Structures are given as C-alpha cells and as structure tokens.
C-alpha cells in the first residue's frame, strides 16, 4: 500500500506543493458544479483535511457517487494553500480509492447533532464523532502523561491481580468470579456452594484496589505504581459511577504524608500540563462546546499552590461559613462526619478557589490501614479536592507498626488471618510508607468537562449495560 501521512502531521507541517497520500473516513461531502469538497478524518486530530476532487479524477462521477459520509478512502494528490478560512492547506486529489462505502440512508451517524445517550447505543461508531474522538485522544494523552510522570521518577509499573480472594477494604461491593455453571452449582453437605470444586478452590472476586499488593512491591522496589482496571459491584446508576474503571495507585516506601501530598500535587500538575500541550485543539474544543470552565480549571490546577488543611480545620471553616450565614448546606456539619460533596466543593470552589488537600481525618470514617496519628483519634489520610469535581485523589500514610495495625484490623472486625502477609510486611523490615489512588475516568471527566462518566471510557459497564 502507498506510504501515507497522518492528517495531524499534514495540518501542522504539510507544505504546499508536497505530493502525498491520506487514508481515512469521509466526514462531509459538498458538491459544487465542477468540484467536490470532501473532508477526510483519520482520527489523528479533531480537524480533518479538506480535499478538492475535480472532474479530472479518473472515473469522477462514479467515485463521487460511492463517497458518502462514513465511507473509507485513500486519496493521493498535491497539497495547496487553502483559500478557505480555518485551514492552512488542502489536498488537490489526483486519485481516489474507495475502500468501503457507507449507505447514507442507514448510517447511524447523520449530520445532525446526536445526544450522548444515543451515541452510547452505537458505541461501535461514536468514536467517529468530534466529541468522542477528542475524549479518547485526551484519555490516551492522560494515560501517557501518567506513565511519563512515574517513569521520570523511577517508579516501577506493577500489575496487581484482578482476581483476588480478599476484599481490600472490607466494603463488600465485589463481583464474584466462578467457573461453575450457574444453572447447577455443586453443593456441599450443608447445601452451600462447594467452592472446593471451583477453579480456585475458594471464592474468587474482582479486585476493588491493587493497594495492598502495591505495598508488597513497594517493600522491595521502594517506589511503584499500579495502573489497571478495578471493579465495584455497586448498583449506582449515576453520571459518576462505573462498574469497571481504571485506577492509578502509586505506593512509596520511606514516605510520609507530606511526601504523599507533594507527589499528588506534582502528579496532577504534570498530567494537566502535558495534556494541554499535546491535545491543544481537543481541549479548546471542550472549552468551546462542552464546558467553558475547562481551560480555566486546568490552568488553576497547574498554577496554584494547593491549599493544605487538616480535617479539623476544614470543619471549623465550614462551621464558620454556616454560622456567619455565608453558606447553607443540605448535610449538617460537625467533627466526625464524612465530608459531603457540597462541603468539598465549597472548600475548593468558593473558599480557596483552588485545589485543597484535607488531611488527618477521624479514624472512624477511614480504612483500617491508614496510620493512626499521635492524638489517637485521627489518621494520616489525605483527600485532594478540586474545584468543580470534589474529591479527585484519596490517599494516606499507611500504618507501618505491627501492633497498631493488628489492633485496627481487630477493631474493624476484619478476619485477621486473611491479612497474614500484609502483617508480615510490618514484621520484616517495615518502613514508613504512603500512597494514593486516583480514578482514571474521573480524571478524564474532570479534564474534558464531560458530564457523564460513561462518555469518557470506550465501553462503559454499568448496571444492566454490558454492550460491545
């Protein structure tokens, strides 16, 4: 096949007079008397390349007949300066090959604007639209920026297991995995499912977090991170929940809460900076068409020193806002509550007008593995709250003291024997260590301003939805 150039490259660096070949899909076709204007997109950028086909093209009439919106083509010709506005160059076609036609009568992507809900029902075609195309380029750019960030700091990327026997946080919202035929489950003497006959010989689940295994690896390699799928069998039909989503979880040995905060702040700044650099057109599109605060938010993240306050201080500030009549909240505020989204947004959006890291939460509302502070009632947890979205990162310094951890596991009524290896990490060469977790789709949603999380993952899985 002919050597081709990607359209993104042509749009930025193509020179008039250059002969080249493009391959892609027709977005629009507009015929005038002796010419046809064809916009071709190959997914490399938001903008397509405008192609001018004249009657001189071999088999002109028949070829134009075959070309409709969605058709796939290979077009060779010469670049010329474009008289049109908004484009530097256009391609004067010399030969056109149509690989695959697309019946305008039945092609589900018509020229009109489609709702995101409708587009979800054609998940196999929606990436060919401007918005979803931009979303998935930004998603890719985010993913690359994440690897780049950690790689620059010598973190090892670790693949923690998807299949697990344990419930990391004891939250219980896990999917069960089995090789049994659900129509006829083998049972034991007590009439219960006989797991000894199942693939793993015991109950198996889909992981909710790779953190505990990441801690294992941090105890050998110092700095590691996971970046992979995690699962929640939560029956939440909201614009912010997915049953399957990707999570990023760095874990650092010899690190305390302050180092954790420093890393989280540097991490967000890096990812936003890189995406603005590599996907400038796509980000401009989101700001124009989806949410006109997207660029301001990104720049706020990049340029602000994140505010750092304790939970106790946060409660004081919220109470003060209520008492002074500045603000009313739906949920009452007092020391010990879990902060609600409205509280988090008030702190980040209204009070500080920039990201806020809240630390040292009450032990009762946080997981057993977070390090108990000297006051005996708070733990070295941190949540990064961002304007417009609320919590974007959650993390903690981990409890590295064997005796304290054992007491916390008991207090949480968790089965201590399941954590034998986790406790061993505190028994043999334990170190202060810390880490955080970031929901990747929440980040992409935040970055792009997309209202529904189902539109920032190629094939969303939610209750009753398992298509494609």
Considering only 92, 130, 178, 452, the residue that binds a second copy (CB under 8 A) is 178
- Binding segment for a second copy (CB under 8 A), chosen from 88-96, 169-177, 315-323, 376-384, is 169-177
3-class secondary-structure state, position 1 = coil
* Residue 189 is a binding residue for a second copy (CB under 8 A): no
Q: State the minimum distance, in angstroms, from the CB of residue 192 to a second copy.
A: 5
Considering only 238, 326, 421, 451, the residue that binds a second copy (CB under 8 A) is 421
Minimum CB distance to a second copy smaller for 163 or for 266? 163
* Residue 335 is a binding residue for a second copy (CB under 8 A): no
DSSP code for 462: B
Minimum CB distance to a second copy smaller for 80 or for 162? 162
Minimum CB distance to a second copy smaller for 8 or for 388? 8
Give the number of residues in contact with a second copy, rule: CB under 8 A. 109
Contacts to a second copy from residues 54-73, by CB under 8 A: 70-72
**Residues near 280 by Cβ (< 8 Å), separated by ≥ 6?**
none
Is 169 buried (19+), middle (13-18) or exposed (0-12) by CB count in 10 A?
middle
In degrees rounded to 5, what are phi and psi of residue 408?
-70, -40
Q: State the minimum distance, in angstroms, from the CB of residue 366 to a second copy.
A: 23
* CA–CA dist 438, 446 (Å, integer): 12
- Binding segment for a second copy (CB under 8 A), chosen from 213-221, 317-325, 373-381, 390-398, is 213-221
* CA–CA dist 251, 260 (Å, integer): 9
* CA–CA dist 247, 238 (Å, integer): 19
Between helices 420-427 and 402-411, what is the axis angle to 10°? 160
Q: State the minimum distance, in angstroms, from the CB of residue 111 to a second copy.
A: 15
Minimum CB distance to a second copy smaller for 80 or for 431? 431
Q: Which two tokens stand for residue 81?
A: 């300066």
* CA–CA dist 164, 168 (Å, integer): 9
Contacts to a second copy from residues 265-304, by CB under 8 A: none
Look at the alpha carbons of 275, 211, 260, 342 in this order and tell me if their dihedral is positive or negative.
positive
Q: State the minimum distance, in angstroms, from the CB of residue 408 to a second copy.
A: 17
Task: Note whether 221 and 407 are within 8 A (CB).
Answer: no
* Residue 317 is a binding residue for a second copy (CB under 8 A): no
Q: State the minimum distance, in angstroms, from the CB of residue 171 to a second copy.
A: 14
């Amino acid at each position: 096949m002919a050597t081709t150039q990607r359209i993104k490259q042509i749009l930025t660096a193509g020179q008039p007079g250059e002969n080249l070949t493009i391959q892609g899909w027709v977005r629009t076709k507009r015929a005038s008397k002796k010419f046809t204007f064809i916009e071709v997109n190959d997914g490399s950028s938001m903008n397509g390349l405008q192609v001018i086909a004249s009657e001189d093209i071999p088999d002109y009439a028949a070829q134009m007949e075959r070309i409709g919106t969605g058709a796939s083509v290979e077009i060779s010709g010469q670049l010329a300066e474009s008289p049109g506005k908004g484009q530097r160059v256009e391609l004067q076609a010399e030969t056109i090959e149509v690989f695959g036609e697309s019946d305008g009568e039945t092609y589900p992507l018509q020229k009109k604007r489609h709702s995101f809900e409708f587009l979800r029902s054609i998940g196999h075609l929606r990436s060919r639209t401007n918005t979803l195309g931009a979303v998935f380029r930004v998603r890719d750019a985010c993913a690359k920026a994440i690897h780049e960030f950690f790689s620059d700091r010598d973190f090892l990327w670790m693949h923690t297991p998807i299949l697990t026997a344990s419930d990391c946080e004891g939250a219980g919202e896990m999917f069960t995995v089995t090789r049994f035929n659900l129509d006829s489950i083998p049972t034991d003497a007590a009439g219960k499912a006989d797991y000894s006959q199942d693939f793993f010989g015991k109950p198996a689940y889909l992981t909710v977090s790779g953190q505990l295994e990441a801690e294992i690896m941090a105890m050998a390699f110092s700095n590691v991170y996971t970046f992979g799928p995690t699962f929640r069998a939560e029956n939440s039909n909201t614009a912010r929940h997915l049953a399957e989503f990707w999570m990023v979880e760095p874990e650092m040995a010899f690190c305390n809460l302050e180092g954790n905060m420093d890393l989280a702040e540097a991490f967000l700044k890096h990812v936003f900076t890189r995406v603005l650099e590599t996907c400038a057109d796509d980000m401009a599109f989101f700001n124009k068409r989806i949410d006109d605060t997207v660029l301001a938010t990104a720049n706020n993240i990049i340029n602000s020193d994140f505010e750092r306050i304790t939970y106790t201080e946060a409660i004081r500030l919220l109470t003060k806002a209520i008492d002074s009549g500045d603000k009313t909240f739906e949920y009452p505020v007092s020391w010990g509550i879990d902060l609600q989204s409205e509280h988090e947004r008030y702190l980040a959006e209204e009070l500080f007008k920039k990201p806020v890291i809240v630390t040292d939460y009450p032990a009762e509302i946080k997981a057993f593995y977070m390090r108990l502070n000297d006051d005996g009632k708070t733990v070295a947890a941190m949540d990064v709250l961002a304007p417009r979205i609320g919590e974007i990162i959650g993390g903690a310094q981990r409890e590295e003291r064997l005796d304290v951890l054992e007491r916390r596991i008991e207090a949480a009524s968790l089965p201590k024997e399941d954590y034998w290896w986790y406790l061993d990490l505190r028994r043999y060469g334990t170190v202060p260590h810390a880490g955080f977790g970031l929901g990747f789709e929440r980040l992409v949603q935040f970055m792009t301003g997309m209202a529904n999380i189902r539109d920032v993952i190629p094939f969303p899985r939610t209750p009753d939805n398992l298509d494609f």
